Amino acid sequence: MLISISTQAQEDNWTLLKESDGVKVFYQPEACQSQSVPDPLQAATIGFGHQTLKLKFVNSNSSNRSVTFSKVTKNSSNELHSLSLAPGTTLLDKCDEAPRIILNQQKDDDYPVAFSDYIKAFELTINN
């Protein structure tokens, strides 16, 4: 009983990002701890942990849909990832699967400075 209550509370934290062609995409930011020691240059800029954008895809169609999304969002260029969604729910909530949130407030870099900027720059395409 306690587990179902906990699961239901977690469901309430999802925010709708996009809805198209029978597919709803929800997001939830979350801290992610790296499993291995990162590259020393990366550690200096993002530390040993980072934020991820957990994604939940709900495909209400009877057939597969394809989605393409940003793995790391920058203002100038993005690393894109494609995924085939079977009917039902697909959850990307592991550090290596979910998009990485990098917010950097240094002058003249390519990263957003706020989460709202990150969401605006986040690319997400749903295809048949």
* CA proximity to 127, closest of 74, 72, 54, 57: 57
Q: Token digits for 1?
A: 């009983």
Tell me the C-alpha distance between 25 and 10, whole Å.
16
Quick one: which of 100, 120, 103 has its CA closest to 112? 103
pTM: 0.75
Local confidence band at 35 (pLDDT 50, 70, 90 cut-offs):
low
Q: By the 8 A CB rule, do 70 and 79 touch?
A: yes
pLDDT in tens, 77-124: 678 899 999 999 999 988 888 898 888 767 777 888 889 988 988 889
